[in-house]
Chains A and B, each alone.
Chain A
């Protein structure tokens, strides 16, 4: 069963807090792990594509790590800002072209 699970489902933090959420995926047939940021009524935007165990990627205050052996990826946001409020989706590429999305973590940052 190809389940991609994200936790928590939703998260409310104060401006300035650092936060992190998890994406769990099957550790077999791994090809790549994607993170997307999806603001309401806008198109999802790619954050990271990670392919190697131990990968760490960073984009401004947002970073991600990858553990393919145990099947998880963490997304970290340092010093959350209200504009970080969005749904963060991870997607697991398990063949070269088959991709399964998680349900997302909905982040709300309160000023």
Chain B
């Protein structure tokens, strides 16, 4: 069965550079969530989208932006990268509804040098 696909798997950037992470949800899933987990830290909810509109926002820095496209894939854009942005970034998708659980991708490991 198709799963949530994230690309790239690994990304190395330098300070002040920009990065774009992509998330392709499971087919027919219209809801996408982004999550960040720094080394040794608790996971932090960043932002979510439903039907191409932002539906909830967590602790996402102003340097970050995200959107969901017409094919429901989502991109997380990060600018002016800082060392503290080094983390594992997960996205998850859901088909919505009360009983629908989230399916998570394998994550993108971002290292800012």
Contact = CB atoms under 8 A, between A and B. Distances in A.
Contacts of B96: 96-97
Nearest to B35: A101
Nearest to A38: B43
Contacts of B56: 98-100
A100 to B, nearest CB: 7
Counting contact residues on chain B (CB < 8 A from A), the size range is 20 to 34
Contacts of B33: 99
Contacts of A11: none
Nearest to B48: A99
A106 B55 CA distance: 27
B101 interface: yes
A96 B98 contact: yes
Contacts of B48: 97-99
A104 to B, nearest CB: 5
Interface string A1-43: 0000000010000000000000000000001101010100101
Interface string B39-68: 000111100101100011010000000000
Chain A binding surface SS class? strand
B31 interface: yes
Contacts of B106: 43
Contacts of B50: 97-98
A46 B42 contact: no
Contacts of A97: 31, 48, 50-51, 55, 94, 96
10 contacts: A38-B37, A49-B100, A91-B102, A95-B55, A96-B97, A97-B51, A99-B33, A100-B58, A101-B43, A103-B43
